[in-house]
């Protein structure tokens, strides 16, 4: 009930703000007809109203079955060795900053550090209304081009990381898994050092044998909590696969994801010899040289462009 109320409020607030801005603009326009000095005040008010309209428009675009849900994000490095593991950690920090900017809460689900630098994998929840609606734009392979800090420093290195995003399922959705279809594995948690972590088999991994889909958690000291986190993540992945089958849009972006390498990226981030972030998906023409801003959590232009493109495509299919 509380979750539904938060979603309702997140819908109502942009509408109320837009209505108030429109009323204010109307009053200012009436005053400007009588006194031209009020015209100078209208420009900033009009800009603010346009931003409120954009927020309301984007909210209206997120009408999917689970768009209002919190999100579970997983990042896994691909081709590129240590640079790819470092790239996965950079993306993790960037999404954490994006979430913080928008008032979302982060909850770690699983994190496996790489021995030299970066992460072998990471999963985390972004908790708040419409987190999934926004973050679904990030599903796919992200490509980084830079001078490697782990090499000789005189050649460019291309690295890849895959981002997967799932909606957090509400409690009233049941995912039935047959007895015997699950395989559980337990392992020690943590990276190098940390005697207690390395000796305690608190990490949990569950594998759905019929599909090969797997999920794991190692961030909690309690094996019971890690098993619960892993099972929830597995159920979300299985549910997403079934939903995509029903929509005739099955994409390999789970453990069976296609190769995380050249030719599969949805977005490229270039640091040398110039700076550029460029959307690679057909139908979305967007690029910016402000890579530092994007990796500081400034994903909004790309998320918004994706939502507009997706909505336009859906409207075209309905005609």
Phi and psi at 124, nearest 5°, equal -155, 155
**C-alpha angle 113/116/122, rounded to 5°?**
20
Cα(80)–Cα(162) distance, integer angstroms: 12
Could you give the strand order of the β-sheet that contains 182-187, starting from the edge strand earlier in sequence? 182-187, 203-208, 214-217
Angle of helix 2-34 relative to helix 39-61, nearest 10 degrees, comes to: 150
Give the pLDDT score at 133: 92
In the predicted model, is pLDDT for residue 254 greater than 50? no
Cα(36)–Cα(294) distance, integer angstroms: 41
Which of these, 69, 55, 64, 56, lies nearest to 130 by C-alpha position? 69
Q: Kindly report, residue by residue over 54-98, the tens digit of the pLDDT.
A: 777 777 788 778 888 999 999 999 988 999 999 999 999 999 999
Neighbours of 106 (CB within 10 A): 15
Q: Name the β-bridge partners of 208.
A: 182
Which of these, 160, 159, 226, lies nearest to 190 by C-alpha position? 226
**Bridge pairing between strands 265-270 and 140-147:** parallel
Q: Kindly report, residue by residue over 226-247, the tens digit of the pLDDT.
A: 888 888 888 888 887 877 666 5
Return the percentage of the chain with pLDDT > 90, whole number.
35
Q: Which of 44-48, 114-118, 290-294 has the lowest mean pLDDT?
A: 44-48
What confidence tier does 177 reach under pLDDT thresholds 50, 70, 90? confident
Cis peptide before 273 (omega within 30 of 0): yes
Which of these, 128, 129, 122, 56, lies nearest to 92 by C-alpha position? 122
- For residue 11, CA distances in Å to 23, 68, 129, 185 come to 19, 10, 9, 42
Cα atoms in the Cβ-side hemisphere of radius 13 Å centred on 272: 11
Q: What is the DSSP letter of 207?
A: E
What confidence tier does 109 reach under pLDDT thresholds 50, 70, 90? confident
**C-alpha angle 280/83/159, rounded to 5°?**
20
Average pLDDT over every residue of 165-190: 79
Q: Burial level of 136, CB count in 10 A (0-12/13-18/19+)? A: buried
């Amino acid at each position: 009930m509380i979750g539904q109320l938060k979603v309702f409020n997140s819908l109502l607030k942009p509408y109320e703000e837009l209505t108030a801005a429109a009323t204010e603009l109307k009053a200012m326009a009436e005053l400007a007809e009588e006194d031209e000095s009020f015209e100078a005040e209208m420009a900033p008010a009009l800009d603010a109203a346009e931003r409120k309209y954009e927020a309301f428009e984007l909210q209206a675009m997120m009408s999917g079955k689970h768009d209002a849900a919190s999100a579970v994000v997983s990042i896994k490095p691909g081709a590129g060795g240590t640079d790819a593991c470092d790239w996965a950690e950079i993306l993790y920090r960037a999404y954490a900053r994006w979430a913080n900017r928008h008032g979302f809460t982060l909850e770690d689900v699983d994190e496996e550090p790489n021995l030299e630098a970066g992460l072998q994998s990471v999963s985390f929840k972004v908790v708040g209304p419409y987190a999934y609606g926004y973050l679904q734009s990030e599903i796919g392979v992200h490509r980084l081009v830079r001078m490697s800090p782990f090499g000789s420093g005189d050649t460019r290195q291309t690295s890849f990381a895959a981002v997967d995003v799932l909606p957090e399922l509400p409690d009233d959705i049941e995912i039935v898994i047959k007895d015997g279809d699950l395989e559980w594995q337990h392992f020690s948690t943590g990276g190098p050092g940390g005697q207690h972590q390395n000796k305690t088999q608190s990490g949990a991994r569950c594998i759905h044998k019929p599909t090969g889909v797997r999920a794991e958690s190692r961030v909690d000291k309690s094996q019971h909590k890690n098993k619960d986190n892993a099972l929830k993540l597995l159920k979300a992945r299985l549910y997403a696969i079934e939903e995509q089958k029903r929509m005739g849009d099955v994409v390999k972006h789970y453990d069976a994801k296609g190769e995380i390498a050249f030719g599969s990226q949805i977005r490229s981030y270039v640091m040398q010899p110039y700076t550029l972030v460029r959307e690679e998906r057909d139908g979305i023409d967007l690029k910016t040289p402000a890579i530092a801003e994007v990796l500081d959590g400034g994903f909004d232009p790309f998320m918004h462009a994706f939502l507009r493109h997706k909505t336009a495509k859906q409207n075209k299919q309905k005609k």
